[in-house]
Amino acid sequence: MSLHLSGITLTYPDGEDRLTALDQVTLDVPKGTLTAVVGPSGSGKSSLLAVAATLVTPDAGTVTVDGVTTTGMSRRDLTELRRRTIGIVFQQPHLLPALTAAEQLEVMARIDGRPRAAARARARELLDAVGLAAQAGRRPHQLSGGQRQRVGIARALMNDPTLLLVDEPTSALDHERGAVVVDLITRLTHERATATVLVTHDRTHLTAADEIAEVHDGRLGFPTVAR
């Protein structure tokens, strides 16, 4: 199992009290499958992603990524685990304005200490995989919103992650471009055998999912109704 969340409870300070953002959440995401996480605003979707990304430590429960249980791990070991095994796609890709599409990717590999030639080859391969081979030399302002998001997806795959966490990737895109991005994420999930968690507001994206998890008030349910 590439991602295993077991009995996760997460609370935030709320005045004198604590607000329960996640309540006993258990979720398994096998390699090569996509789980869509849906639910109303404030239900806990971003919190779930942050816990899975090991960016937030839950009050209770265990997070296991690629067979490694993170309980009690040092900050440094968690950073290393994230660097090796987790790719994150944000709502907005936050590209660096001065860098070309290829350089946005190469810089990730250089941070990891990979040789320049290997970084360049990997960046080209991934830009090709997301349909942007011809745009490799363009800077963000020369790309459309959908193309920028695809650069963000390719960048998240640079470290060959086992776990791909995707937060509302289509929020800045129109419906059609959003569907293209979700199709791409689904294809890459199968081709690259990532365990993918996709948070989405758009229920039309659910046809692409292997599993749908609905969050309500921090609790997770799996609908049994047909999609």
Ligand X SMILES: Nc1ncnc2c1ncn2[C@@H]1O[C@H](COP(=O)(O)OP(=O)(O)OP(=O)(O)O)[C@@H](O)[C@H]1O
Q: How far is the CB of 43 from ligand X (least distance, A)?
A: 4
140's tokens: 């963000």
Q: Residue 170 interacts with ligand X (CB under 6 A)? A: no
149 forms beta bridges with: none
DSSP helix/strand/coil, 149: helix
Identity of the residue, 202 or 211, whose beta carbon is nearer to ligand X in the bound complex: 202
**Cα 111 to Cα 129: distance, rounded to the nearest angstrom:** 22
End-to-end CA distance of the chain: 25
Q: Residue 47 interacts with ligand X (CB under 6 A)? A: yes
210's tokens: 């292997």
Q: Residue 42 interacts with ligand X (CB under 6 A)? A: yes
DSSP helix/strand/coil, 95: coil
Q: Residue 45 interacts with ligand X (CB under 6 A)? A: yes
- Answer for which of 3, 8, 35, 44 binds ligand X (CB under 6 A) is 44
Stretch that binds ligand X, among 34-42, 66-74, 118-126, 149-157 (CB under 6 A): 34-42
**Cα 140 to Cα 14: distance, rounded to the nearest angstrom:** 39
Identity of the residue, 42 or 137, whose beta carbon is nearer to ligand X in the bound complex: 42
Q: Residue 38 interacts with ligand X (CB under 6 A)? A: no
Is residue 76 within 8 A of residue 138, CB to CB? The reply is: no
Q: Residue 19 interacts with ligand X (CB under 6 A)? A: yes
Q: How far is the CB of 128 from ligand X (least distance, A)?
A: 33
Which positions lie near ligand X, rule CB under 6 A?
12, 19, 21, 39, 41-47
